[in-house]
A and B are shown apart, each in its own frame.
Chain A
Amino acid sequence: MDYVLIIVIEMLRAISWLVLLASGLAIIFGMMRVINFAHGEFLMLGGYITIMSHNAGVNLWIAMLVLAPLCVGIFGILVERFIIRFLYGRILDSLLATWGLSLLMVGGVTLVFGNTVQGVSTPLGGVSIGAYQVPFYNFVLIGFAAVLMLAIWSVLKFTKAGLIARATMQNPDMAETLGIRTSWVYMATFGIGSAVTGLAGGLLAPLTGVVPSMGVNFVGQSFITVITGGASMIAGTLSASTLLGTISQGMTFLTGPVYGDAALLLTALVLLRVLPQGITGRIFKKSL
């Protein structure tokens, strides 16, 4: 019984992990159909901000939950203004440019902080479930993933900003004729997506520590989740995270973590062969 509970928690953690990793990317993809290839480095930046400000004496939770999203969000807005803005309508070029940015950031952070791992200990300790010990931090991750999804959903559904975002998402030209400044919407979207990614980076920093090249370890999972999910931010992220999280965690139980990613990709390829637009391209079409 305890073992079953542990497995359920582990599965939930894996799913939440993917939700956290992919949401920021999914927001940007859902609105702009652009994949931010520097996503991994945005995570890395969030992690660095968390750890550096913690080392400088800031409370870990404040660093993680406030500073990381704030700084990465601002950084995202700058990136949108100085790079992405010039490449709207040239999707492949925006992929190339963000990839250039990704390499530049790895190089830049290495120059500044050196190529060494830095970290803090995971806070909050553990909980005993029967004979097993589970880190309490797992529940924090699960909680944040749920809160994040709920927050995005309520913003899109109930606020004026959400309405504008949905209008722009459905038909940018029409939105423009209605007096919505789509370029501002895109800027805000990129900023918010980046902030969410920064938050994810902050949350994962205590688990993995930070190193300039860490992004590479997470982009695979994030990208697969987003393209498997398709263009709908919430339904896509949730359905893909659930499916892929279960599979990768299952593979990890069976064979160890190395093949988890490969299994993810294989699943995604087979799925995309059947549903080229991702899960929400066919199913849950009208959802958010």
Chain B
Amino acid sequence: MEKTLAKDIGFWVMLGIGLAVMFIGPMVWGLFEIMQITQYVVLSVYALSLAYIWGFGGILSFGQAAFFGLGAYTFAVASINIGETTVPFALSFLLPAAFGAALGYFMFYGRLSDVYLGVVTMVVTLIFWKLINHTAGPEYSIGAARLGGFNGIPSIPILNVPGDAKAWLDPAQMFQAFMGILIIVYLCLRLIIASDFGRVSVGIRENETRASLLGYDIRRHKVIIFAIGSGIAGMSGAMWATYQTFIDPNAFSMEMSAKALVWVMAGGVGTLAGPILAVILLQWLSLKLGTMHILNNYFILGAILMGLVLLLPRGLLPSLRLLAERLWHLGRQKMDASAASRKATSDV
């Protein structure tokens, strides 16, 4: 009766593709492709963070970059100070999650409306961006790590094998590690969504009044969802930092928040696979357009965002599904019709 995860074909397909890419990828791709695809993987984790809170918690955040950046800077500062990357990586999940919980407390316990929520999340990101841009002076250091203001933090350590600070991952290993993280995040989110907690989240998204009339504490629920999303976004920030070995305030930029929204919208709100596809498609597209040097990133991003809202509000994946269904019905109708007409002609 219940639609369990184990019976969902889409889930197994995604998992299969993920594992195949993880293990076969490094054998068939060259170094350049591996590096490129690693980028997609990191950004997919980031996209999933918003896909979850928006699609399955009904929380539209305009400031996902705040947590992405916070995670990236947490990882950078901690790994430079500690000299290894396992603890910093964990911190890059925990600190943004804690910050998300604190911010969520103010927003959800204050019962802010959707518009206010959007504004607050955006302003938080703006302020992070501003503050971090002003930390250029040497007095802004945390331990051995200088924040560097708009210059960013250079020479961030590459991820090492847990427990062995000298065993850095080579690009292929890092790709596999990140691919593994993506699969785990996807798996965990699917499990959460299928759990009682996840069902209640969907219930809250559908009807907050009924959820609270059943005795569910909506506010606490939303804070938890928001914190999970924030933690995942923070972790993707850390992945970004170690992948680039460099981080600058652009991690906190409007562009970064907008990208997450565009991916989720393009992929379809309420799906997890869609946003991943959108990351690959749109990043590849912007790479191609970027090399043309006619249009800048902001222009393209803004145009896509507006286009999506006005023309494709359901997103790519659900729209494609709808289109396929319509074509299928149309095709069947046509076949029925032609069958009927053939019958008719044979009668005559």
Contact = CB atoms under 8 A, between A and B. Distances in A.
Do the two chains belong together in a single complex? Answer: yes
A261 to B, nearest CB: 5
6 contacts: A35-B118, A93-B309, A95-B118, A219-B123, A219-B126, A272-B106
A48 interface: no
A262 interface: yes
Contacts of B109: 273
Given A102-B302, A223-B122, A107 B310 contact: no
A146 interface: no
B115 interface: yes
Interface of B: 60, 62, 103, 106-107, 109-116, 118-120, 122-124, 126-127, 129-131, 134, 254-255, 258, 261, 265, 295-310, 313
Chain B CB within 10 A, most for which of A33, A99, A107, A276? A99
Given A96-B261, A100-B305, A272-B116, A265 B123 contact: yes
Interface stretch (A69-77, A83-91, A161-169, A239-247): A83-91
B309 A97 contact: yes
A101 B111 contact: no
A251 interface: no
B134 A258 contact: yes
Interface residues of A, number: 46
Chain B CB within 10 A, most for which of A101, A111, A227? A227
B295 A111 contact: yes
A90 B39 CA distance: 34
Interface in A45-91: 83, 86-87, 90-91
B124 A265 contact: yes
Contacts of A234: none
B127 A111 contact: no
Nearest to A34: B115
Contact of A110 (B103, B254, B258, B296): B296
Contacts of A107: 295-302
A35 B295 contact: no
Interface of A is mostly: helix
A211 interface: no
A261 B303 contact: no
A273 B304 contact: no
A269 B120 contact: yes
Chain B CB within 10 A, most for which of A83, A97, A100, A102? A100
Given A83-B306, A223-B119, A261-B130, A91 B298 contact: no
* The 8 A-B residue pairs with the shortest CB-CB distance in the complex, in nearest-first order: A107-B299, A104-B302, A100-B305, A103-B302, A107-B298, A100-B306, A273-B110, A97-B309
A96 B300 contact: no
A26 interface: no
Contact of B306 (A97, A108, A111): A97
Contacts of B299: 103-104, 106-108, 110-111
Contacts of B122: 37, 219, 223
Contacts of A150: none
Contacts of A103: 254-255, 258, 298-299, 301-302, 305
Contacts of B134: 258
